Every structure is written in C-alpha cells, then in structure tokens.
Structure 1
C-alpha cells in the first residue's frame, strides 16, 4: 500500500505547486476554463487550499504505514543485508541457497513469501515478513477493491449498504459455490416423499 500512498502524497504537493504557479499541465479542464475567463485567481487559491488539506489528511490518516521501514532483504532476497537479526541470518542463508525456491522469486516478493514452504521451513523469517505483507497488500488487490466499490456505487441497487453486506468480500475472495452440495442439501427428504405418496393416494390427486 505504501507504493500507492507515498507517491500520491508527493503528487499532491507537486499539483499544488504547479497550480499555484499557474501551470495547468495536470489540470487541462481548469486551463480551458481559465482561458474562457470562468476561473479566477480566487478560485485557483481555493483549489490549492483543497490540495493542501487533502495532502495533510492523507499524511495523518496513513502516518503509521508511512513510518514503517521495509527491510531490504524482504524485497530483494539476495542482498547481503546487515539489517537482519543475528538469530535469523542462518535461516536467511539457507533460504538464499534453496535452489527449489529461488526461481519462484521472479514472480514477485509478495507471492514468494506467501508460499507455504516459507512459513514451514523458515518460521523466524516468516514472523518478520508477514508484518510487512499485512501492511502492504499488493497494488493489484487494492485496485480490485476500488473497482468493485466503484461498480457497486454506480450500478448496483445496494450501493448505499456496501459495508453491511457480504458482497464486497465475496467479489474479492477466490470462493466458488459448491453447486452440487447446495442442490443435495435442498433435495426432498425421503420422509417427505413418503407422506406425499400417502397424500396423493388418499385424495386421488392423480386422477
């Protein structure tokens, strides 16, 4: 998540400077309105103030994440890092020389550390790494979440109750319904069938 938040906060500062200096490269709509005389200096100052408030709000809201220092060896396993604790260096050395796991690092550090073999074979390293993985979900997952929320807000009837339904969780989870099991659970019970036959014979429903 820091890979998304930190650049966004920096861009807000850049946008504010450019807007305050009457450079509208990032704001083509404002530039067009400015040329038509529909945007004045007072309006631009309001926009700059809004960007300033937004930047401060983002810094305050995500200050805990922005302060986290990511260890180099978490992102690049094969660096000779001095940041790691002495008791974990042996595990790191073993992992760096594991010929079976090394090729999987090319799929990305997050996918690499989430392999079950890591937590089983290197529990000490896993205890350290999982803190960072919880704090920094992949941008792909974040983008998926935003896409689903936007879809709910614009197209779905329950758009005002996103947080009160399980729809968002279902859309973001790799869960598929077991249709066969659901059908089996709703099949008529043998005793129900028995009483149905008695009922039909009693009232001659088949005639």
Structure 2
C-alpha cells in the first residue's frame, strides 16, 4: 500500500491536507468539534495521520468520510483551496474505497500480531488475503461491492459507473505486490513441513528432505495417544519444546522453523517497552506496576 497508484495517492494526500487544515489550528479544531456536537454527529473530531505508522491511515480516512457532511458545512465559508472536494462525488468515491481497503489491511496486520503467532499461521493469513484480493477483483468488475462497507453505502446513494475500472486496477496492482513480497514458492516450502503444524494427521506423508530414521521416529510419536493429548492441550511452540528430551531430532527440526520471526511484532514490542522507560511512568514508586 506504500505503492499507491496516482489517483488514489492524490486522494490520500488531499485528505491529509484537509485534516491538517483543521487539526493543526486549535481554533479551527474547536469550532469543528462544536459543529459536530450541534449536529449530533457520531464523532466530534478528526484523526491525524502519521506517515511512520502508515497502516493507521485507514482510521483517519474512515473518520473523514463519515464526517463529510459536517466538513461541507465547516469549509463552505473558508478560502481553503480543497473545500470543493467534499462535494466531488468521484473524489468521495475514491476516498470511501481507500478507507475500506486500508481498514482491511489493518485487520490483516492485527491478525498477524501476537507472541504465539507462528509462521504457519502468518502464511495462512497472507494466503487468505491474496485469495480475497482475487475475489474482490472479480466482484468489483461486476459492480458487486458488498465487501466494502463505506463504498457500498456511498454508491447506493450516488450513481457512479465510470470509475470502477480504476478500483480493479488498484486491486490488481495490490495483488501483484503481494505476490512479489509473498511468493507462492515460500508457501510451498511450508507445506513440505506441515508435519510440524500437525504431526497427528492420518494422511501423514514422508517429507523428501527427511531421512528414513527420522521419519520412523515421527511415525512413532504420531502413534502415541499421550503425545496427541498433549498436542491438543498446549500451544504449538510449547509442545515441541516439551518433547525435546524424548524426540530431540524432531523437536530441533520443528523449533528451527517455529522460532523464525513471522513478523516484527516481538521486536517492536521490545522497543516500545524500552521507549516507555524514557517517560514519566518510570518514576512511579511501585516497581511492580512498571
């Protein structure tokens, strides 16, 4: 999503300028908040976009789109050069799509986070999203956009047919980027090690890279009902750690793959914890709360 096509990129840049026009001026921000309160709006403030946290841009775009009526009233008496954007149906059409697609990317990003997330789970999420992209391309080309909430609501109230092709191009370019960063070859490699994810499958096949001796050990373990009970009651990482003494070679092979960082979540968590020590909270007397 950092490589956004020209038209959606222009909408994104102009949306950020509109938000900054209001949020960067305290008086403007307070007046806009009062206007939203008088109108009984669901939200009373806009959200700032942070370029460093580029995945967060879905929320500011969604908030901007949901407050488009209030934005029209607020900007009508100003000399702001982008005030007409809130009346431009094509611009709002693209904005609603950008808000929806970034929201879906945010959901994907959140699903990949967690201390117990394995490379198998991350691969499954990425594969599912690529399949969704293929499905969305077909749906948008047929004008079936129920998967995009804001876009669907906007199109139901406005007759726009000449810009759907741009959405198809955008989704197609996004699919190409996903294929570039997450090639199918990597998914195939993980499938060859599917015994790690579930060694108790009844159709367990011998991996090509595994010797006969190790495979016999795998068959022995997969036939042990006590091991199967342990597998069902513990996490994947804990299971292979706990059987290390009894099946050291199998456990080592499994842990070499499982201990690979599927995302940067743990690194960023550690950095955030370290950064928190630089704040005022480090001065609290109760060390147990730190």
TM-score by length of 1: 0.58
- Does the alignment pair 1:167 with 2:272? yes
In structure 2, relative to structure 1, the CA distance for the partners of 1:80 and 1:53 (3 Å cut) is closer
Distance 1:130 1:170 in 2: 30
Q: Report what 2:144 is aligned to.
A: 23
**Aligned-residue CA RMSD (Å):** 3.8
Q: Report what 2:195 is aligned to.
A: 73
Give the drift of 1:2.
Answer: 0.9
Q: Report what 2:71 is aligned to.
A: none
Give the drift of 1:82.
Answer: 3.2
| Structure with greater contact order relative to length (CA < 8 Å, sep ≥ 6) | 1
Decide which of 55, 72, 82 is 2:205's aligned counterpart.
82
Give the drift of 1:125.
Answer: 1.2
Structure 1 alignment gaps of length 5 or more = 149-161, 172-178, 184-207
Distance 1:44 1:101 in 2: 54
CA contact (8 A) 1:74 1:129 kept: yes
Distance 1:52 1:105 in 2: 40
TM-score by length of 2: 0.43
Give the drift of 1:168.
Answer: 6.1
Q: What are the equivalent positions in structure 2 for 1:23-172 lying under 5 Å apart? A: 23-37=144-158, 39-41=160-162, 43-63=163-183, 65-70=186-191, 71-78=193-200, 79=202, 81-84=204-207, 85-98=211-224, 100-107=226-233, 110-111=236-237, 113-115=239-241, 117-134=242-259, 145=265, 166-167=271-272
Q: Report what 2:100 is aligned to.
A: none
Q: How many residues align?
A: 153
CA offsets, 1:16-71, max 9 Å, x none? 11011101111232233223336442x21111111111111111101253232423
Larger Rg: 1
Tell me the secondary structure at the aligned position of residue 189 of structure 2.
Answer: coil
Distance 1:29 1:52 in 2: 20
Distance 2:240 2:213 in 1: 22
CA offsets, 1:156-191, max 9 Å, x none? xxxxxx96x8116899xxxxxxx9xx89xxxxxxxx
CA contact (8 A) 2:237 2:255 kept: no
Structure 2 alignment gaps of length 5 or more = 1-121, 277-283
Distance 2:274 2:160 in 1: 43
Tell me the secondary structure at the aligned position of residue 166 of structure 1.
Answer: helix
